[in-house]
Amino acid sequence: MEKPAQKAETNAGEPVVVSSNSLQDLTFKNSFSISLSLCSSSDNTASVSSSTNDVSNDSVETKKSTNAPENNNAESEEVASHKKRPESMAADPDGAGFRRICPSKPHKGNDMRWDAIQSVKAKDGELGLNHFRLLKKLGCGDIGSVYLAELRGIGCVFAMKVMDKGMLAGRKKLMRAQTERDILGLLDHPFLPTLYSNFETDKFSCLLMEFCSGGDLHTLRQRQPGKHFTELAARFYASEVLLALEYLHMMGVVYRDLKPENVLVREDGHIMLSDFDLSLRCNVCPTLVQSSTEPSCAMPTYCIQPSCIDPIPACKLPVCVQPSCLQPSCFTPRFLRSKTTKEKTERTNLGSSDSRPELIAEPTNARSMSFVGTHEYLAPEIIRGDGHGSAVDWWTFGIFLYELLHGRTPFKGSGNRETLFNVVGQSLKFPDGSNISFAAKDLIKGLLVKNPKKRLGFKRGATEIKQHPFFASVNWALIRGTQPPEIPKPLDLALLNQSFKSAAPQNEKGATETTRLPGPYLDFEFF
Ligand SMILES: Nc1ncnc2c1ncn2[C@@H]1O[C@H](COP(=O)(O)OP(=O)(O)OP(=O)(O)O)[C@@H](O)[C@H]1O
């Protein structure tokens, strides 16, 4: 099986070099220089530090902190964000300082898992590891391990991400963990994870999410004939990912880590975008834009209330911007009277020829200087160190679609260094004999434009991309009713029960004698 794509990342305050003997210099024509540590760590991640001559020759950390305050959309990074968000897991082991998860989400209200958790909480107080049986290790990420976990006595299953707090603190990944938790707490969308609960033990920080039994799209792609999806299947997965990205942008989240490995398949065959620890939180002002062709359009622009979404955790905001307010019924159009004629014209021109109002939810002012993402998926502006915004998600969407259709990414080199050079300098080519449609090629070309300002989606976000002919056959409103290309086999809990190991967790004080005894379950295999 092919190796999953490698991840590149720098965090302020964190040593960026993994191995000094693998340090190499990359110099681009336009005087950018990137110091690369191309040595993969055991978990297949690589750290990359960047410095750009156009900003300063300071370290990444300085550069980030000098850029961050200029912009309200500054990234939640280890150093910068500690100032904005005083709570940390280390300082607040019970998690009381973190945003509380709503008892249920408006769109998931009839999900029995909420009730199951509430009943356990009502009986025992807070949740703990002793309430669960860990059936299987689903995978291991950079900041934690994910287990299939069964709620004892009730039988419903979850995906539980378990993070070692000592490791997070030691490797300066507390803010990444917090970013992920904050974002998960905001989400209420069919193609994004539901966070049912989160809890802390002395040693671990745990997130309880819904379990996707179908694995990830990377693995699924490998099983396809020719190791690529048909255009029909690729359109299905790309459509759902696009809706998930649209919602994230509307919520003020730039995802930044789109790749097939992070697109999970639910038991019904629909997708779930996972993994938010590299995401960027920013301000956004979702706006309804009325086309100029509308005859009754006296006031061309509307703004949804609450007018702007702020990256500050919702519980701290003076106005309600909880996800529950972002249902269509809460969209109270508000006339924007103060726009100048020029602004009005600009906005109006952004609309399509269709006369219906369009929702534009693109956080176009988001800005970050971080070097985060996965090598083959990194946008050129990230590699060049130009600073980047929400358009990086449309670049990665182009790479993603290319990979689904061709079984490989377009700029992959023989190593990470060459890949980065290719992304910045090589023009887009389709493989010889590529038989994808003209529309698919045209969409990919529009997305893989190196200048983010000229990239499809830069101005009007997902709205612009959804109108591309490639998606002409997609019924966006009814996509959840579309038959998925493949439906995973149902999870066989009985089979999993048979394969339990019989050892109890040794290193978690939270488990009581009684909870250790009844039945075998997995050992913790942490770090
Ligand atoms: N809800 C879920 N249902 C099923 N499997 C999951 C779920 N969430 C994660 N996984 C699996 O667990 C593995 C680890 O996930 P996780 O998000 O922690 O790591 P990651 O995607 O490698 O990212 P990172 O390194 O940034 O943490 C993934 O490979 C994924 O396949």
Instruction: Kindly report, residue by residue over 459-491, the tens digit of the pLDDT.
Output: 999 999 999 999 999 999 999 999 999 999 887
Taking the C-alpha atoms of residue 240 and residue 189, their distance in angstroms, rounded to an integer, is 11
What local confidence, expressed as pLDDT, does residue 438 receive?
97
Q: Work out the average pLDDT over 198-211.
A: 95
Q: Work out the average pLDDT over 355-383.
A: 88
What local confidence, expressed as pLDDT, does residue 105 receive?
67
Question: Cβ < 6 Å from ligand 1: which residues?
Answer: 138-144, 146, 159, 161, 193, 209-212, 216, 262, 264, 274-275, 277
- Residue with CA closest to ligand 1 atom 20: 141
> Domain 213-293+356-490 is classified in which CATH homologous superfamily?
Transferase(Phosphotransferase) domain 1 (1.10.510.10)
- Residue with CA closest to ligand 1 atom 1: 211
- Residue with CA closest to ligand 1 atom 28: 139
Kindly provide the b/e burial profile for residues 434-473, where b requires at least 16 CB atoms within 10 angstroms of the residue's own CB.
eebeeebbebbebbbbbebeebbbbbbbbbbbbbbebbee
Q: How far is the CA of 525 from the centre of ligand 1 (A)?
A: 15
CATH topology of domain 111-211: Phosphorylase Kinase; domain 1 (3.30.200)
Q: What amino acid positions are annotated as catalytic residues?
A: 257
Distances (CA, A) of 179 to 78, 82, 85: 10, 12, 10
Which residues have CB under 8 Å from 138's CB, separation 6+? 146, 147, 148, 159, 211
74 vs 1 pLDDT, higher one:
1
Mutate which of 138, 157, 194 for ligand 1 pocket (most atoms within 8 A of beta carbon): 138
Residue 368 DSSP code: B
- Residue with CA closest to ligand 1 atom 12: 139
Q: How far is the CA of 21 from the centre of ligand 1 (A)?
A: 31
Q: Work out the average pLDDT over 252-260.
A: 96
Position in ligand 1 atom list of the atom nearest CA 212: 3
* ipTM score over 0.90, yes or no: yes
What local confidence, expressed as pLDDT, does residue 284 receive?
86
What local confidence, expressed as pLDDT, does residue 292 receive?
54
What local confidence, expressed as pLDDT, does residue 134 receive?
93
**In the predicted structure, residue 40 carries a pLDDT above the cut 90:** no
Place of tokens 């690589």: 46
Q: Work out the average pLDDT over 297-325.
A: 36
- Residue with CA closest to ligand 1 atom 30: 139
What local confidence, expressed as pLDDT, does residue 397 receive?
98
Distances (CA, A) of 185 to 38, 163, 243, 322, 337: 34, 17, 18, 10, 34
What local confidence, expressed as pLDDT, does residue 413 receive?
97
Q: Quick one: pLDDT band at residue 47, thresholds 50, 70, 90?
A: very low
Q: Work out the average pLDDT over 22-34.
A: 30
What local confidence, expressed as pLDDT, does residue 104 receive?
63
Task: Read off φ and ψ for residue 195, nearest 5 degrees.
Answer: -95, 110
91 vs 420 pLDDT, higher one:
420
What confidence tens digit (pLDDT) does each residue in 320-344 have? 233 333 333 333 333 333 344 444 4
What local confidence, expressed as pLDDT, does residue 235 receive?
98
Position in ligand 1 atom list of the atom nearest CA 140: 14
Q: How far is the CA of 138 from the centre of ligand 1 (A)?
A: 7
Q: Work out the average pLDDT over 380-386.
A: 94
Strand, helix or coil at 287?
strand
What local confidence, expressed as pLDDT, does residue 108 receive?
67
**In the predicted structure, residue 79 carries a pLDDT above the cut 70:** no
What local confidence, expressed as pLDDT, does residue 523 receive?
46
What local confidence, expressed as pLDDT, does residue 497 receive?
65
Q: Which two tokens stand for residue 159?
A: 């995906």
Q: How far is the CA of 159 from the centre of ligand 1 (A)?
A: 9
Q: Quick one: pLDDT band at residue 456, thresholds 50, 70, 90?
A: very high
523 vs 330 pLDDT, higher one:
523
Q: Which two tokens stand for residue 348?
A: 């109006």
Q: Where are the domains of the chain?
A: 111-211, 213-293+356-490
**In the predicted structure, residue 282 carries a pLDDT above the cut 70:** yes
What local confidence, expressed as pLDDT, does residue 154 receive?
85
Q: Quick one: pLDDT band at residue 289, thresholds 50, 70, 90?
A: confident
In percent, the amount of the chain with pLDDT more than 70 equals 61
What confidence tens digit (pLDDT) does each residue in 114-142 have? 889 988 988 888 899 999 999 999 999 88
Residue type, 348: T
**In the predicted structure, residue 166 carries a pLDDT above the cut 90:** yes
Q: Would the CATH topology of 111-211 be identical to that of 213-293+356-490? A: no
Per the DSSP assignment, residues forming a β-bridge with 49 are 35
**In the predicted structure, residue 144 carries a pLDDT above the cut 80:** yes
Q: How far is the CA of 7 from the centre of ligand 1 (A)?
A: 14
